[in-house]
Amino acid sequence: MVKFIHMKKVTCHDINGEEQEVEKDQLIYRPSIYGILIEDGKVLLSKQYDGYDFPGGGQELDETVHQTLQREFFEETGLQVEVLDVMYGGTSFFHPTHSKKYEHQFWNCPLLYFTVKRTGGALSTEYFDEAEKTYANLAEWIPLSNIDDLKFINSVDSVAIIKKAAKFL
C-alpha cells in the first residue's frame, strides 16, 4: 500500500528566490502554461525585470490548456501560435511579490511547457495588461548558443527545457 504524505505547510518562492513558508489553506490553485517557440536557431523569450521567461501564464477557469497558451502567448508577444507537444510538466509554489494585484497571494502552480509554431502576428507589446506594462518588455529572439548565459526568473531548468525542445523540433 502506498502512503501519501500531506503537508500542512508549503514553502513558496518569489522571482528573486526568496522563500516563505505558508499554511496549505492559504494556497490558490493556478495552473500556468508556457510556450517554447524556436525558429532559425533562436528561441523567443519574454524580457521581464532583469531576466527572461517563456511567454505564457495563468489559466482561466473557462479555458482549455491550449486556449490559455494561445491567449497568453498572444498577449505577451503579439504572435499567434499553434500548440504542439508537451516538453515539461511540474509544480511551483509561488509567491507573486512582484505584482501589486497578487502580492498577498500564494499559488500552487502546475506548470506545463509546450513547443509551439508561429501561425501569424508580429512582435508587439500592444496586448500587455496593466501589470505587464510595468515589468515586461518586447519579447526577444535569443540565439540558442546564448541561452546558457541568461538569467531566468522562473523556478524550472529553462536551459534544459529549451535544449530538449530544440532537439525535438
**Consecutive 10-residue runs of the chain (169 residues): their mean pLDDT?**
78 91 94 98 96 96 98 98 98 91 94 98 96 94 98 95 95
What pLDDT does residue 27 have?
95
The residues, any chain, with a CB within 8 Å of residue 130's CB and separated by 6 or more, are none
What pLDDT does residue 6 have?
76
164: which DSSP letter?
H
What pLDDT does residue 169 have?
83
Determine phi and psi for 158, rounding to 5 degrees: -60, -40
- Bridge-based pairing of strands 19-23 and 9-13 is antiparallel
What pLDDT does residue 87 have?
98
What pLDDT does residue 21 have?
94
Residue 69, H or E segment: helix 65-77
What pLDDT does residue 101 have?
85
What pLDDT does residue 38 have?
98
What pLDDT does residue 82 have?
98
Grid coordinates given for 35: 510556450
What whole-number distance in Å separates Cα of residue 124 and Cα of residue 2? 50
Structure confidence by residue, pLDDT tens digits, 18-56 = 999 999 999 999 999 999 999 999 999 999 999 999 999
What is 13-168's CATH superfamily? Nucleoside Triphosphate Pyrophosphohydrolase (3.90.79.10)
What whole-number distance in Å separates Cα of residue 68 and Cα of residue 91? 17
User: Where are the chain's structural domains?
Assistant: 13-168
What whole-number distance in Å separates Cα of residue 156 and Cα of residue 90? 8
What whole-number distance in Å separates Cα of residue 44 and Cα of residue 46? 7
Report pTM. 0.93
